[in-house]
């Protein structure tokens, strides 16, 4: 037996009226409002706030930086580079000789040059070290290539070389020939990134699938982000950056980004988004770089609130990254975190802080400085993952550049 309509309270009538009114309202909207782009969504999960700390003083930060710079000066090789193939533990990671080590040394040398330019001040010893390091880059970086069909760590070398070259432009600005050489090498490195772009967009450093000339395996979100940041630096410096590389790379990160702005390790994880490393705690070291890269290239979803939420998470849950620090096996820690994400994550977090309004940076700068000051080794270095003889050099370079950005506004 059918029930009779009970008037205004009748559910079917309420639904019909709602549909009609909604249709009328939409039809009455001005065209500009109806076609407006969607507003950025609120974060699906709001992270915890970090505990209060006693902020380090500018003097403490400057002294820590000085010790880090001294370490890099002492560890520079005779040929001007940093890092070596010397094995520091048995069973180090897969690194086919000699190409993998050409790539590692190129990336580490570029990072050290960037760090000394930013943090070295006017010290004559730093200037001499930079001259030697830059000479090595001019001579050796053009020869850095893919090691084997399945291994191409040279992606890191090209990305960090570009960042170093953009910083080198600020040294000796009156030397026109030097500037020409820098821009030429920068364009060469951009060309190499074009060559080694993964077939579906973005970048990685392994191809365990078809091992084709254009890598056929999955792109990695954090590698793609690091390259995008470097390419943005290059574009700001006046270099020509192919638009298609940017479009394909940012699309790759969007495919890997979850609603809470945690990011998959790589596109090969697309069918297991809740695997431990793809959850927020596992993404702490990647989301900073991905947020920065997407914001630099115009993604309006990466708002100040997104940056601040993920900076809060980094500092409140820093233990998840720290537990993996110095563990010799990749991804053996909680949430499958690898040690090499520690200083990588903090370096890009420092760059994220720079994206915020000046009056909102101080709390994040204080936490960054506190963490890095406490983790400096007795010899002045920082390191997070034992990697032949490259780990102290890259860790120190990234920590120095992060610390340098905590001094702004003090």
298 contacts: CB under 8 Å, gap ≥ 6: none
Cα(260)–Cα(282) distance, rounded to whole angstroms? Answer: 13
* First-to-last C-alpha distance (Å) of the chain: 78
Cα(301)–Cα(293) distance, rounded to whole angstroms? Answer: 12
CATH number of the CATH domain containing 289:
1.50.10.20
pLDDT tens per residue across all 410 residues of the chain: 444 444 444 444 434 444 444 444 444 444 443 344 444 444 444 668 999 999 999 999 999 999 999 999 999 999 999 999 999 888 899 999 999 999 999 999 999 999 999 999 999 999 999 999 999 999 999 999 999 999 999 999 999 999 999 999 999 999 999 999 999 999 999 999 999 999 999 999 999 999 999 999 999 999 999 999 999 999 999 999 999 999 999 999 999 999 999 999 999 999 999 999 999 999 999 999 999 999 999 999 999 999 999 999 999 999 999 999 999 999 999 999 999 999 999 999 999 999 999 999 999 999 999 999 999 999 999 999 999 999 999 999 999 999 999 999 88
Cα(366)–Cα(326) distance, rounded to whole angstroms? Answer: 24
Q: Within a domain: residue 15?
A: no
Cα(81)–Cα(133) distance, rounded to whole angstroms? Answer: 6
Q: Which domain holds residue 314?
A: 41-404
Of 387, 363, 376, nearest in space to 55 by CA: 363
CB atoms within 10 A of CB 268: 15
Which tokens hold the place of 127? 């200037």
CA dihedral 286, 354, 42, 254 (to 10 degrees): -40
Q: Within a domain: residue 1?
A: no
Residue position matching structure tokens 């537990």 = 323
Structural domain count, the chain: 1
Q: Within a domain: residue 371?
A: yes
pTM score, whole prediction: 0.89
Q: What sign does the dihedral 105-106-111-115 (CA atoms) show? A: positive
Q: Within a domain: residue 9?
A: no
Q: Within a domain: residue 34?
A: no
Is-contact 193 231, C-beta < 8 A?
A: yes
Cα(324)–Cα(340) distance, rounded to whole angstroms? Answer: 8
Q: Within a domain: residue 17?
A: no
Q: Within a domain: residue 21?
A: no
Q: Within a domain: residue 184?
A: yes
Q: What is the pLDDT of residue 35?
A: 42
Q: What is the pLDDT of residue 90?
A: 85
pLDDT in tens, 195-204: 999 999 999 9
Positions of E strands within 230-346:
none
């Amino acid at each position: 037996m059918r029930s009779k309509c009970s008037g205004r309270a009748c559910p079917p009538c309420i639904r019909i009226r709602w549909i009609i009114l909604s249709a009328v309202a939409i039809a009455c909207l001005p065209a500009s409002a109806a076609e407006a782009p969607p507003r950025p969504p609120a974060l699906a999960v709001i992270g915890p706030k970090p505990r209060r700390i006693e902020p380090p003083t500018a003097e403490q930060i400057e002294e820590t930086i000085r010790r880090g710079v001294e370490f890099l000066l002492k560890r520079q090789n005779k040929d001007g580079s940093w890092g070596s193939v010397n094995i520091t533990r048995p069973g180090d990671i897969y690194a086919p000789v000699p190409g993998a080590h050409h790539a590692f040394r190129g990336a580490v040398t570029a990072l050290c040059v960037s760090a000394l330019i930013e943090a070295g001040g006017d010290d004559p010893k730093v200037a001499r070290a930079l001259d030697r390091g830059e000479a090595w880059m001019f001579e050796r970086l053009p020869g850095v290539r893919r090691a084997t069909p399945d291994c191409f760590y040279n992606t890191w070398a090209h990305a960090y070389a570009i960042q170093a070259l953009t910083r080198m432009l600020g040294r000796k600005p009156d030397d026109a020939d030097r500037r020409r050489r820098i821009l030429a090498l920068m364009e060469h490195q951009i060309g190499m990134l074009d060559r080694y772009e993964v077939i579906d967009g973005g970048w990685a450093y392994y191809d365990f699938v078809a091992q084709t000339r254009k890598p056929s395996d999955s792109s990695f979100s954090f590698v793609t982000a690091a390259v995008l940041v470097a390419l943005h630096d290059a574009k700001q410096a006046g270099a020509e950056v192919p638009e298609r590389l940017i479009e394909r790379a940012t699309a790759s990160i969007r495919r890997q980004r979850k609603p809470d702005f945690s990011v998959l390790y790589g596109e090969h994880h697309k069918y297991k988004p809740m695997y431990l490393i793809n959850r927020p705690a596992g993404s702490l070291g990647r989301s900073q770089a991905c947020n920065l890269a997407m914001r630099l290239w115009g993604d309006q979803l990466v708002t100040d609130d997104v940056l601040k939420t993920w900076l809060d998470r980094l500092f409140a849950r820093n233990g998840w990254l720290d537990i993996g620090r110095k563990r010799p096996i990749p991804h053996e820690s909680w949430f499958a975190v690898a040690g090499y994400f520690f200083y990588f994550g903090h370096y890009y977090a420092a760059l994220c802080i720079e994206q915020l309004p000046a009056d909102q940076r101080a709390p994040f700068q204080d936490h960054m400085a506190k963490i890095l000051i406490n983790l400096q080794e007795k010899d002045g270095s920082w390191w997070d993952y034992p990697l032949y003889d490259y780990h102290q050099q890259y860790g120190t370079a990234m920590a120095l550049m992060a610390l340098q950005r905590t001094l702004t506004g003090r």
